[in-house]
Amino acid sequence: MVADRLLLSCPISQFLNPPDGGRILVNAESSESQLDTTMQSVKVVVVGAGVVGLSTAVCIAETLPHCSVTVISERFTPDTTSDGAAGILFASQFPDIPLEQQQRWFKESFDHLLAIAQSSKSGETGVILSSGCQVFKEVPADKRPFWAEHVLGFRFLSDRELKRFPDHKFGQAFTTIKCECTTYLPWLEKRFGKAGGKILNGKVSDLQRLADTYDVIVNCSGLGAHSLVGDAKMHPIRGQILKFHAPWVKNFVRDGDGHTYIYPGVNSVTLGGTRQAGDWRLEVDVGDREGILERCFRLEPALHGGKVVGKWVGLRPGRESPRVEVEWLRTAGGQEVPLVHNYGHGGFGVTLAWGTALDALGLVRQSLLQHPPMAKL
Ligand SMILES: Cc1cc2nc3c(=O)[nH]c(=O)nc-3n(C[C@H](O)[C@H](O)[C@H](O)COP(=O)(O)OP(=O)(O)OC[C@H]3O[C@@H](n4cnc5c(N)ncnc54)[C@H](O)[C@@H]3O)c2cc1C
Ligand SMILES: O=C([O-])CC(=O)C(=O)O
C-alpha cells in the first residue's frame, strides 16, 4: 500500500524509533487538507494502524473537524494482525464490560459494515455478507448469543439440517459480515486521508513524550500495549489459519468450540484455527496445519478436491476484556493530556472495531471539553 502514500525524506520526530531509516509517510490524497489541518488547533495522535487504530482515526477525523489527526504506527496494512484475520463478525461475551455496551459495540460495527456490504462499495472495501452456521457438540447453556438480534435471520438449525453434522447436537444459522482487512484497511487509510489525516511510520517507545507535541493521545496498539503501556494483562493468543481454494464452498461453518472454522471469502476460503494463549510463535506449525485440515475436512466434506494456497499465523491481542478508557498524563510543563486507550479486542477486533472507535471518539470529545488544551508548537 506504500504506492498510495507519498514518501517524504524528513527527519523523524524525537519520540519515534524509526524502524526503517526514519521514513515519514504522508497520504498523497491528504496534501491539500494538510494545509488546513496545520491551521487547526487540537492535535490528536492515534498510535496503531490495525483495524482498531484506523477505525478510531477515521471516526475522530470525520467527526471533529477542529482536530488535526495523525496516525503513527510501526506496521501498516498488509502487515498488521488485522490483515490476517478471517474478518467474520462474531463475538463471545467479555466478563468485565456491561452487556449493554458489548451489544452496542456489536450493533454499531455490524450496522456500519452492513451499509457498506449492501452498497456499491462492497467490492472496493472487501466487506461482504456471509451466510452459514455455527454447530455445537453439546447444547450450549446460552442458545441465543447476545448478538443474535443484530445479525440477520438468526435461527436454530432444524433436525434435518443437523443431519449434515453427525458429531453435533445443536446449531445456529445466520447471515453475518466478512470484512477482509487486506482490502478494508487500504480503503480506511484513503478515507482517513480524505478527512485530512496524516500518517507517520515509526515505533513509539514513550507515550509520555508524545504528550509534549499532541493534545490528545489515543492508544490503539493492540498486543503492542503489553510493552508500550506495560499492561501485564495483555497476552498473545496465537492463531494459525490456511487459505484454501474451493470456490464451490459458499457457506461458512464454525464449530462452537472456536477451534474449527471454514469461512468462504472473496478470493479464497479461510480454514482455521488455533487459539494458543501465551504462545508468541509467529512461525507456521506443521502439526497445527495438519490438525486444521483434518478438522475442517471432517466438518465440511465438500472441501475435498480443493487445495491450500496460503498460510498465516497471527497473535490476537488477548485481554480478559478490551480496555476502552481514558487516563491523564502530565507534561513537564504541568499540562494534563488525555490518553485514551482502545486495545485488547482478542479474537473480535474486526467485529467490534467501529463500536469501540465510537466510544473512543466519545472519550476524546469528553476529555477536550473537560480540559480544553493549551496551544502547543
Ligand atoms: C487467526 C486469526 C483469525 C482472526 N479472525 C477474526 C475474525 O474472524 N473476526 C474478528 O473480529 N477478529 C478476528 N481476529 C482478531 C483480530 O485480528 C484482532 O482482534 C484485531 O486485528 C485487533 O486489531 P488491532 O488494530 O487492535 O491490532 P493490530 O491489527 O495488531 O494493530 C496494532 C497496530 O499497532 C501498531 N503498534 C503496536 N505497538 C506499537 C508501537 N509501540 N508504536 C507504534 N505502533 C505500534 C502495530 O504496528 C499495528 O499497526 C483474528 C485473529 C487471528 C490471529
Ligand atoms: O473464532 C472465529 O470464528 C474467528 C476468529 O474470530 C478468530 O479466530 O479469532
Where is the domain boundary, 301, 318, 335?
318
For 101-160, how does the pLDDT look when each residue is reduced to its tens digit (9 = 90+)? Answer: 999 999 999 999 999 999 999 999 999 999 999 999 999 999 999 999 999 999 999 999
Q: Are residues 136 and 239 in the same domain?
A: yes
Q: Are residues 227 and 238 in the same domain?
A: no
On the question of a cis peptide bond just before residue 264, with omega within 30 degrees of 0, the verdict is no
Residue 54 backbone phi and psi in degrees, to 5: -70, -35
Q: Per-residue confidence at 96, pLDDT binned at 50, 70, 90?
A: very high
- Please list the residues that pair with 130 across neighbouring strands: 176
For residue 98, how many other CB atoms are within 10 A of its CB? 9
Find the 140 Cα to ligand 2 centroid distance in Å. 18
pLDDT at 332: 87
Q: Are residues 130 and 247 in the same domain?
A: yes
Q: Are residues 228 and 243 in the same domain?
A: no
ipTM of the complex: 0.99
Cα(210)–Cα(231) distance, rounded to whole angstroms? 18
> CA of 175: how far to CAs of 86, 148, 182, 318, in Å?
15, 10, 22, 26
Look at ligand 1, atom 7, and give the residue with the nearest C-alpha.
Answer: 87
Find the 161 Cα to ligand 1 centroid distance in Å. 35
Q: Are 201 and 24 in contact (CB under 8 A)?
A: yes
Total domains in the fold of the chain: 2
9 assigned to some structural domain: no
CATH number, domain containing residue 148: 3.30.9.10
For 267-294, how does the pLDDT look when each residue is reduced to its tens digit (9 = 90+)? Answer: 999 999 999 999 999 999 999 999 999 9
Q: Are residues 304 and 341 in the same domain?
A: no
- 36-45, 46-55, 73-82, 326-335: range with lowest mean pLDDT: 36-45
Task: Give the atom of ligand 2 at the shortest distance from the alpha carbon of 273.
Answer: 8
Ligand 1 pocket (Cβ < 6 Å) reads: 47-53, 72-75, 80-82, 84-88, 203-204, 220-224, 228, 239, 241, 272-273, 314, 316-317, 343, 345-351
13 assigned to some structural domain: no
Q: Per-residue confidence at 41, pLDDT binned at 50, 70, 90?
A: confident
Cα(64)–Cα(361) distance, rounded to whole angstroms? 9
- Please list the residues that pair with 264 across neighbouring strands: 269
pLDDT at 180: 98
Q: How many residues appear in the chain?
A: 377
For CA atoms 75, 76, 78, 81, the dihedral sign is: positive
* Average pLDDT across the chain, whole number: 90
Whether residue 374 is predicted with pLDDT greater than 90 in this model: the reply is: no
171 assigned to some structural domain: yes
Q: Which residues constitute the domain of residue 280?
A: 86-175+234-318
* Percent with pLDDT over 90 in the chain: 86
